[in-house]
Structure 1
Amino acid sequence: MQPPRTPAETETALAAELRTVRPALLSPYAAGLPGARAAVLTRLWRGLAHEPLPWVTHRAAGPDGLTLRLADGRRLHGPRPDAYATATTVTEVELAGTAYEHPAALMTALELPHSRAFAAELAHSVASLALSRAGQVPSGAPRALWEWEQRVVDGHPFHPNCRSRPGFSVAEQLAYAPEHRPVVELGMVAVREDDCRSTGAWPYREAGRVLIPVHPWQARHVLKDEQPVGNGLAAHPLMSLRTLAVPGGPHVKTALSARLTSSVRDISVYSITSAATVSAFMESMAGRLDGLLHITRTLGAVSAGSPDLAAVSRESPDLYAGPGEQVVPVAALAAGIRPQSPAWLAQFSRLALTVGLRLLELGVALEAHGQNLLVVLSPAGTPVRLVYRDLADIRISPARLARHRIPVPDLTGRIVTDDESVLRSKLFGSLVAGTLAATAGSGPALREALRAAVRDLPRGPDLLALLREPVPAKALTLMRLSPERPGDSWARLPNPLAARPTDSPIGHSS
């Protein structure tokens, strides 16, 4: 078994592949490495500073920064972090008197359980981020939705694995990753109808067989015995990489059994069989919100009995733009592609919180992060309503639905819960600690936007919790260092709306 690569070896190996497949990117790739290291280190330091890590015994903030005392007696010191910032950059963190500029080197030096595996992911994240940035060229304003999505170059605004793509060669990243702007040819695998589970009206069929669109990476690395047949689909990859926009047609979510950021994402048989029910239910719930929210309907879903061979077809969000309007993924706003004023941010925050809180009161918690949530902009650029896509990770509360005399859908499994903390964490962790924080870019900007947004909202128990309690956020670093623990882990961030706002790091698990 070969020893793991050092960060430098990972970066050099990527450069060697690049020299073969795209030598013109070698120079911008090398020039982008220092910035990529700092970008990933910034995300990692935020996690170390704010998450409930069991091996951090004490945190002390002072005028010169933040010091963490570790269980083994060592001290970890870095800048005082803003839990909601995306515009600041951390270039160096000191562990036991040694300065580290590379996040993977720091993680290796910490010598924690699972830290070497996480360090390898961080090294890959740095190298892939430098590659993603190297291929960017100036161009005009995006027009199609997929063009907006392909402008989100840096990936997740808070996850250290923002661009980690283990299992992808350089050639495959260039061929399939959205920020490299490729057109991807999806293959079609033919399966007998009797061997499939499906819901909705599946559009791809041939001679009594069901045709399942397959991502070429999946076909090569996972479905080695399945040979695509017939004509495939030429499509534009979106932010999630495994979901692609068919020009003039639907968005197709494919199975892609690779680890992206936190986990290996598949399409479970459960999500296939429940897709039509969830879609119809959410369409009816959106109808209760006075036109402020649209749901991209699931058109059809199919599985050949395996999460490795499945696909979902759903509407394009572009269908919900009126004359002169534009649908923009919120992650593009957070990435600074369309900078907004404080007044605009307050308008958008009010719209997003109105929709999120009203749905939560009725009995649905959205996972409203910047990839799932889109905003419809008027011709003047004003946020007028929202579009939500990908219903796999929402949560539905039968008790709340019953209180409002709303029929409970025939669903079981993880999507159903009456746990108040789970429901609020799902919405607030994605919308406030994720979408709104990243769009605002800093704690102070988020505080001002939220103060303006909540001024006229009804003071129900969910809003009061948001006003008074720490803000839940997924503990992304802890989750990567705890692979044996299933499900989500949570941090509790300083509440920007508290009477005495503080940026002192705190953390609790739940």
Structure 2
Amino acid sequence: MDRVDLKPPSDDIGRRADAYAAAPLLNCLLREVAQPLPGPGEPGEPRVYRLPGGGRLLRVRGGRRPTRPELHMEGAWQLLGHTDLVKLVADELRRHTGVSNDELPIEMTDSRDAVAALLTARARATAPDDPYLRSEQSLITGHPHHPAPKARGGGPVAGWLPYAPEAHARFPLVLLGVREDCVAEEGDTGALDALGAAPPGYRLLPAHPWQLGLVGPDLAPAFADGRLVRLGTTGFEAWPTAAIRTLYEPLADVFLKFSLDVRITNDIRRLWRHDLLRLRRTNAAATRAFATMGRPAAWLGDRGYRTADFAFEELAVLVRDGLRDHLLPGATPLLCAGLAEGFDGDPLAATADPGAWWEAYLRQVVPPVLTAFADHGVVLEAHLQNSLIAVDAGGTPVQALFRDAEGVKLVGDVDRAAGWERLVYCLVANHLTEIAARLAERHPGLDPWPAARRELARHSALPEITALLTSPTLPGKTNLLLRWTGADGADARYLPLRNPLATTGTDS
């Protein structure tokens, strides 16, 4: 992006931002706290919930993206704007948990304001021609069950908007030289050396300009004594993906993942030392698992990292495999989270045979995840943002690709039951449930769950499958309560959700 325009958003953009921000916040409240009352009788009718903290009644319209929240007050339903909704949620959580939290309501408001800034910027930005990049940069709602999915650390818009994927940003990387005796690295980092030229006695270290702006003052001594030198910027632009701190460079076909000292959803997005030190082991396990499966399933390996030993986490950069060596000939990769949200050229919306499309999708996505667990004890974090689906020229899914060794768990390091719970949450509750719901929205009359049940049942040799197909519930992550109570972002806690796999027939 060439500039940042900070003009106030229009009334229309303000209303749209309210709606975008309200949907995931309502999803959290309805999933984690509210108690549904009987009804509604007809599709499209509003659903009424009781808020247990004070017994108040809330009603909303819509399904997976709730709209028009109304609170029953003084004998009538009163429509809530986003500001009032945040106040209601905060008050209810104080009553429900007995805990106060002054930070999360601010994040909720920041998230809404960030959406308004993104909508304003997006209206005058040019979307990339590449459908893969369009899918990565499509997430205006973002995580559909997080109370503040678009919060950007509370910083000024001008500080983060130039690097926002949702605004179709692209930008050059800053190039640093780190003195050779200060380099810390592991694995294959050769792709970094091709990004530019370092002077004698130094190694090349690219930096995300947003991160460098955040940590720059702490690096002043290293620049002063020559441990770091500035080498300008790259002659090419990189594209931020949905993960924000992970960038794709199409010419070199490589992904670069950086630290970012900003809270995005539940965590400060640093490349933490302990994760980097275990990365080679988890990536090797995932690579071996996919090697035994053979194509078409693919793993985008995290090859290695490089950093400075005096700023190990702050300046770390991770090198990840690109796409071309893994893709089937003629296939076009798309971010699965982009399919859940929708984007220009989205094959889920365009397919004329949604049943066949969904069966093809399931055939590509489900087997690699279950095989990695059953045969190798590898728990993939196969949620929507870590999964890609490649489609053929007709838009039919032909290949699944997975990424992010940082999120991989290994049975043995974690209890098998805990690993399976995490797998089911990521694959079914987070991933398949969202794709199935959007497919049903776009193609009324389709019931996607019998096909999902059949695909999972094909793996009945895995002992946990029978329980999955008969359990009345699935694990649902409690992001609202996690953030409100100040739990560690990696400390997943689950509550039971209705399991559509157990309540559907086997024929369709």
Query: Given the two structures, how large is their TM-score scaled by the length of structure 2?
Result: 0.81
Tell me, yes or no, if the aligned pair for 1:107 and 1:118 is still in contact at 8 Å. no
Distance 1:176 1:141 in 2: 15
Distance 1:59 1:441 in 2: 19
Pairing 1:141-290 to 2, within 5 Å after superposition: 142-143=129-130, 145-203=132-190, 204=192, 206=198, 207-226=200-219, 229-233=230-234, 234-249=237-252, 250-290=254-294
Q: Unaligned 5+ residue runs, structure 1? A: 1-19, 399-415, 502-510
Q: Unaligned 5+ residue runs, structure 2? A: 41-45, 224-228, 349-353, 441-445
> Deviation at 1:178?
0.8
> Deviation at 1:281?
2.5
> Deviation at 1:245?
1.2
Residue 319 of structure 1 is matched in structure 2 by: 325
> Deviation at 1:272?
2.3
Residue 467 of structure 2 is matched in structure 1 by: 465
1:299 aligned to 2:303? yes
Residue 125 and residue 287 in structure 1: after superposition, are their counterparts in 2 closer, same or farther (change >3 A)?
same
Deviations 1:147-169 (A, max 9, x none): 33123333223323221112332
Residue 136 of structure 1 is matched in structure 2 by: 122
Counterpart of 2:68 (choices 82, 91, 111) is 91
> Deviation at 1:466?
2.0
Identity over the aligned pairs, expressed in percent? 25
> Deviation at 1:445?
4.4
Distance 2:447 2:108 in 1: 29
Distance 2:267 2:127 in 1: 34
Residue 37 and residue 173 in structure 1: after superposition, are their counterparts in 2 closer, same or farther (change >3 A)?
same
Residue 80 of structure 2 is matched in structure 1 by: 100
Distance 1:319 1:328 in 2: 16
Distance 2:92 2:51 in 1: 12
Q: What is the RMSD of the two structures over their aligned residues, measured on CA atoms?
A: 2.8
Distance 2:150 2:420 in 1: 28
Farther off after superposition, 96-105 or 207-216: 96-105
Distance 1:108 1:264 in 2: 22
Distance 1:43 1:142 in 2: 29
> Deviation at 1:142?
4.2
Deviations 1:116-172 (A, max 9, x none): 321111111111112222333597884263333123333223323221112332223
Residue 3 of structure 1 is matched in structure 2 by: none
Query: Given the two structures, how large is their TM-score scaled by the length of structure 1?
Result: 0.81
User: Could you say what secondary structure the match of 1:184 adopts?
Assistant: coil
Residue 409 of structure 1 is matched in structure 2 by: none
> Deviation at 1:199?
0.8
Tell me, yes or no, if the aligned pair for 2:119 and 2:167 is still in contact at 8 Å. no
> Deviation at 1:435?
1.7
Counterpart of 1:30 (choices 3, 7, 11) is 11
Distance 1:78 1:238 in 2: 35
Deviations 1:147-204 (A, max 9, x none): 3312333322332322111233222333110121222232233333433331113234
Distance 1:303 1:193 in 2: 11
Distance 1:101 1:247 in 2: 42
> Deviation at 1:441?
2.3
Greater relative contact order: 1 or 2 (C-alpha under 8 angstroms, separation 6 or more)?
1
User: Could you say what secondary structure the match of 2:492 adopts?
Assistant: coil
Counterpart of 1:121 (choices 95, 107, 110) is 107
Tell me, yes or no, if the aligned pair for 1:272 and 1:303 is still in contact at 8 Å. no
Residue 339 and residue 440 in structure 1: after superposition, are their counterparts in 2 closer, same or farther (change >3 A)?
farther
Residue 194 and residue 325 in structure 1: after superposition, are their counterparts in 2 closer, same or farther (change >3 A)?
same
Paired amino acid for 1:90: T
User: Could you say what secondary structure the match of 1:426 adopts?
Assistant: helix
Farther off after superposition, 383-392 or 113-122: 113-122
User: Could you say what secondary structure the match of 2:17 adopts?
Assistant: helix
Deviations 1:30-78 (A, max 9, x none): 3122222223222222222222x5xx6x65444363322424x332422
Deviations 1:299-329 (A, max 9, x none): 3202334322211011112432233211111
User: Could you say what secondary structure the match of 1:327 adopts?
Assistant: strand
Paired amino acid for 1:189: L
User: Could you say what secondary structure the match of 2:173 adopts?
Assistant: strand
> How many pairs were matched up?
453
Tell me, yes or no, if the aligned pair for 1:150 and 1:180 is still in contact at 8 Å. yes
Distance 1:283 1:165 in 2: 33
1:328 aligned to 2:334? yes
